């Protein structure tokens, strides 16, 4: 039971860490649960885990992008005393380079623009528009590699359920691993891999 309590359950849960956070395991060892990131967040988007994500991530900060997304103000990195959230300058290049919250993924079945009704809300919400997301002639969004996963697109999506979702970084890694395993087992290279481009 003790082992189960400490078993990391972030494989299944979709949440984002604040921008500039270290990798999941390092982050849990660094974060001292001081709550300063949430106190300083001007958008009030950072919340804290209770015991629902395992005992090891109790009290650590997370963001649910559909409820309230990160506006990439980078204040939490400045205030974090331990460097669990790295201090990053609020400029385009460092943000694109160092912020790894996740990657947005468009569900073309749900997206209005792909269904012929031009919407483009996600493109307009994106703080890194044209760097992280671009749109076609009917404003169909395409997420580019520079996407940092702030979740503003998911927050603003007018579809229910949302047509654009941010896949957190820890989940990306596990998903990629799973698809690789699947490929190796089946020997089939045409297995649908998550598309970012």
Partner 1 sequence: MTFKSSNSSSRIMSRPYIFRHLNKVRWVCLTLVFLMLVLIPLLGIYQHYVSASAYRNLDGSEKLLFDSMHALSSPFTMDPENDLDALKGTTWSGQLFGLKITDPLAIVGQMSAGLEVYWPFVLTGLIPILLTMFFGRFYCGWICPATFLYELNSNFALWLKKIGVYTGDRKFDRRIKYLILLLGIIASTITGTIIFASLYPPAVIGREIYFSIALSGFGGGTLFFMATLLFDIFVSKRGFCRYLCPGGALYSLLGRFRPIRIQRVVETCNDCEKCNAVCEFALNPMRDDFGQECNNCTACIAVCPQDALTFVVSLKDLDNQGPGYCSREYRSNSDERVNEK
* Separation CA 89–CA 78 (nearest Å): 9
Query: Residue 182 corresponds to which tokens in the numbers above?
Result: 């699947």
Counting contacts by CB under 8 A, is residue 57 touching partner 1? yes
* Separation CA 105–CA 157 (nearest Å): 12
Least distance to partner 1, CB of residue 60, Å: 9
Of 11, 13, 14, 47, the residue at the interface with partner 1 (CB under 8 A) is 47
Query: Residue 15 corresponds to which tokens in the numbers above?
Result: 């949440």
142, 133 contact by CB (below 8 A): yes
Stretch that binds partner 1, among 33-41, 142-150, 157-165, 181-189 (CB under 8 A): 33-41
* Separation CA 120–CA 134 (nearest Å): 10
Counting contacts by CB under 8 A, is residue 29 touching partner 1? yes
Question: Whose structure tokens read 């201090």?
Answer: 87
Counting contacts by CB under 8 A, is residue 177 touching partner 1? no
Counting contacts by CB under 8 A, is residue 170 touching partner 1? no
Of 23, 39, 118, 177, the residue at the interface with partner 1 (CB under 8 A) is 39
Counting contacts by CB under 8 A, is residue 90 touching partner 1? no
Counting contacts by CB under 8 A, is residue 83 touching partner 1? yes
DSSP string, 51-83: STT-GGGTT-EEE-TTTS------HHHHH-SSS
Residue 23 or residue 180: which is nearer to partner 1 going by CB?
23
Counting contacts by CB under 8 A, is residue 28 touching partner 1? yes
- Residue 197 DSSP SS3: coil
Query: Residue 67 corresponds to which tokens in the numbers above?
Result: 């409820």
Stretch that binds partner 1, among 45-53, 103-111, 128-136, 162-170 (CB under 8 A): 45-53
CA 60 to chain centre: 16
Residue 73 or residue 144: which is nearer to partner 1 going by CB?
73
Of 48, 107, 134, 144, the residue at the interface with partner 1 (CB under 8 A) is 48
Q: State the residues that interact with partner 1 by CB under 8 A.
A: 6, 25-26, 28-36, 38-40, 42, 44, 47-48, 50-51, 55-59, 75, 79, 81-83
């Amino acid at each position: 039971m003790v082992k189960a309590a400490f078993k990391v359950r972030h494989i299944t849960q979709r949440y984002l860490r604040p921008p500039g956070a270290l990798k999941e395991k390092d982050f849990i060892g660094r974060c001292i649960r001081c709550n300063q990131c949430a106190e300083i967040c001007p958008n009030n988007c950072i919340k804290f885990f209770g015991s629902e994500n395992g005992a090891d991530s109790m009290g650590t900060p997370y963001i649910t992008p559909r409820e309230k997304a990160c506006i990439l103000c980078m204040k939490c990195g400045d205030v974090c005393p331990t460097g669990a959230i790295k201090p990053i300058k609020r400029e385009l290049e460092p943000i694109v380079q160092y912020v790894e919250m996740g990657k947005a993924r468009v569900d073309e079945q749900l997206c209005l623009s792909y269904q012929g009704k031009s919407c483009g809300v996600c493109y307009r919400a994106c703080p890194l528009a044209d760097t992280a997301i671009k749109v076609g002639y009917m404003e169909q969004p395409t997420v580019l590699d520079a996407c940092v996963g702030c979740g503003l697109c998911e927050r603003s999506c007018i579809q229910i359920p949302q047509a654009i979702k941010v896949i957190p970084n820890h989940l990306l890694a596990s998903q990629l691993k799973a698809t690789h395993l699947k490929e190796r087992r089946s020997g089939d290279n045409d297995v649908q891999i998550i598309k970012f481009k």
